Structure 1
Amino acid sequence: MSPQFHLEYFDPPPELSRHVLALFYFAWDEDDISDRHPGALPQIVLFPHGKGQMQFDDRVEPVQGEVHMLAGFEKAVPFTMEGPWHAIGASLSPLGWAALARQPANKHYNTLIPADELVGSDVNAFAKETNERYRTGDLTGAEACNVLADWIAPRFEPVPEEHVPIIEQGLYWLSSSLNPDIDVLVAGSPYSRRQTERLITRYFGLTPRALARKFRAIRAANLLAQPELTDEGEAEIAAAFYDQPHMIREIRRHCGYTPTRLGGPKEPLFQTLLRMKNLDRLKEFRSIGE
């Protein structure tokens, strides 16, 4: 817990466990806020308080309005916000994104999207009502998370049944190692290599090679951000990269920092998000391939 902000994660209802990895409530009550967002997972997020902007490589996007969605970012994105800034959201699995957004993840990567463009205009009335109830004190952050879960639950559309195994296999593969082998992914897939790569890109937002590279850097940064790096963690990092300069380059590319500055005091939210609590449930998918 940071003294500057409050962040809580909640388990989704059991019936949503394949689609929602975690519900979350966030509040940061300072006037001027700047930090980075890792963009590791798809999300749908209500914003009852706060507005600002995100700085992508080629453009600046506003962060304003009642509700947004994101499919993910290829690398950490700097942002500034006029506080107080509060958010109520759900981190989605790739299956959850596909079922709710009904759009390929790679089509919407590296952008923040008004949610009505993906899930229909009724999300605006829902978000406005829920945010107003939160603003007036009728809902706590935890209660608002439950309201969001109840709203999205009936809106998950079926994903092509023949594609579900490759999504689950992709989750198992991604969670199986700090540096997952693409040949292992292909070997466990019912499709050809080319079709497997195409489907992973569609549902996860990046090609398998780019996806493995991104999560290797984020997980290594996560380990290095821990107060004490265990011998096991150090060995895992050493095995995942060619050498230390390679590790530094990859973490700088995907996280925006050299390892000695990961999650420094000027960006405490980024440091907290690097712990990836909402990614812990990915480990549950390891049993699919075992």
Structure 2
Amino acid sequence: MKVAAFDESSARADPPAAMRMDYWKPSPRLEGLVSGYHLYAVAPPQGQVHSDVFQPAWFNLRILLDPQTRWHVRCGEGEAVRVPDVALFGPSSTACWSQSDAGTVIGAGITPLGWARLGSRSAAKIADRVVPARDVLGEDVEALARHLRSAAPGAVPAIFDAWLIDRMGTPHRDEDTIARIFSALLDPNLRTVGQLSHSLGIALRQLERLCLRSFGFAPKLLLRRARFLRSLHALIRGGPGRRALAIDAGYTDYSHFIREAHEFLGMKPTQFLEACGPMFTRSLQLRQAVLGAPAQALTRPAD
């Protein structure tokens, strides 16, 4: 059942583009494995494109309802690439800038725990990349896409649920350890890889291996990314004049946070927020309301 929706065109007197977004929760059987389902639809004026941005995130399976939609993304300082009509977005360490003509994309967010069950290769091999989903998940993902394209929007969650439950039924041999890492990465009191390793009782070499395999990045980068996103969203919530109070205690000062912003966003946080489109801003609020976190990478695993 659809949980919530937002139609940007109904909220703006003279919108530059008609926009719509939906978020849905997955089945309880996928808790901790799937962060949620989403639908984004845009219709920019003739001859224009819709521009927006994705935050650093985990894995996302995304399907264009019209395969002819021209959608390009650029992650960090990389080259812009055309998104395949059935695409797998790997875990990202930087903001990904997006431009498209009119179209609708539906997607499923997959957590590191979900990837451990679903993926057949190391997450590090698709980190900061967008690839054809069939190259990683197999040809049957194309059948999933056909099913979704012929269905009503309200059927999206059930279709995704059925497909993912069928493929995520068998726990991974390292699942308990991956779950503990997943949870610990969001602990603001764990600021170094040494602290993380000690708190988990895991050797540094094993921690590094599991992080690259299931999370896509080394543990140091994962800790820094989580710290930055916590601070960025605290800054957004706090508003102007509260920047020093918003940043994580792990930063030595606000300048330290700004340096990190240039790595994760490519610019200052204020410049980033000014560059973001209205869909990004509203998605933070709607995602928080429906899925419990303003960013996929800040979604807490199941208890």
- 1:255-288 CA-to-partner distances (Å, cap 9, x unmatched) read 233122342265233444556635738665485x
Q: Partner of 2:198 in structure 1? A: 187
Q: Partner of 2:164 in structure 1? A: 152
**Alpha-carbon distance in 2 for matches of 1:195, 1:115:** 28
Query: Does structure 2 conserve the Cα–Cα contact (< 8 Å) formed by 1:166 and 1:200?
Result: no
Shift of 1:92: 1.0
> Residue 6 of structure 1: which of 20, 32, 37 is its match?
20
- 1:82-128 CA-to-partner distances (Å, cap 9, x unmatched) read 11x21221111101112122221111111111111112112112202
Query: Does structure 1 conserve the Cα–Cα contact (< 8 Å) formed by 2:244 and 2:254?
Result: no
Q: TM-score with structure 1 length normalisation?
A: 0.84
Q: Partner of 2:55 in structure 1? A: 38
Residue 91 of structure 2 corresponds to residue 72 of structure 1: yes
Residue 268 of structure 2 corresponds to residue 248 of structure 1: no
Output aligned runs, 1:216-231, within 5 Å: 216-226=227-237, 228=239
Higher-helix-fraction structure: 1
Letter in 1 for 2:251: F
Query: Does structure 2 conserve the Cα–Cα contact (< 8 Å) formed by 1:33 and 1:81?
Result: yes
Residue 73 of structure 2 corresponds to residue 63 of structure 1: no
Q: Partner of 2:183 in structure 1? A: 172
Output aligned runs, 1:203-282, within 5 Å: 203-226=214-237, 228=239, 235=245, 237=247, 239-264=249-274, 266-272=276-282, 277=288, 278=291, 280=293
Q: Partner of 1:105 in structure 2? A: 123
Shift of 1:234: 5.1
**Alpha-carbon distance in 2 for matches of 1:117, 1:106:** 15
Letter in 2 for 1:145: P
Query: Does structure 2 conserve the Cα–Cα contact (< 8 Å) formed by 1:175 and 1:285?
Result: no
Change (3 A) 1:16 1:226: same
Output aligned runs, 1:86-101, within 5 Å: 86-101=104-119
**Alpha-carbon distance in 1 for matches of 2:96, 2:277:** 12
Q: Partner of 2:143 in structure 1? A: 125
Letter in 2 for 1:237: I
SS in 2 for 1:263: helix
**Alpha-carbon distance in 1 for matches of 2:184, 2:292:** 14
Q: TM-score with structure 2 length normalisation?
A: 0.80
More off after superposition, 25-34 vs 208-217: 25-34
**Alpha-carbon distance in 2 for matches of 1:152, 1:235:** 41
> Residue 200 of structure 1: which of 190, 200, 211 is its match?
211
Letter in 1 for 2:159: V
Shift of 1:190: 4.3
- What's the Cα RMSD here? 2.7
- 1:48-80 CA-to-partner distances (Å, cap 9, x unmatched) read 043221224343321132x21122111012221
Query: Does structure 2 conserve the Cα–Cα contact (< 8 Å) formed by 1:176 and 1:283?
Result: no
User: Structure 1: which 5+ residue stretches go unaligned?
Assistant: none
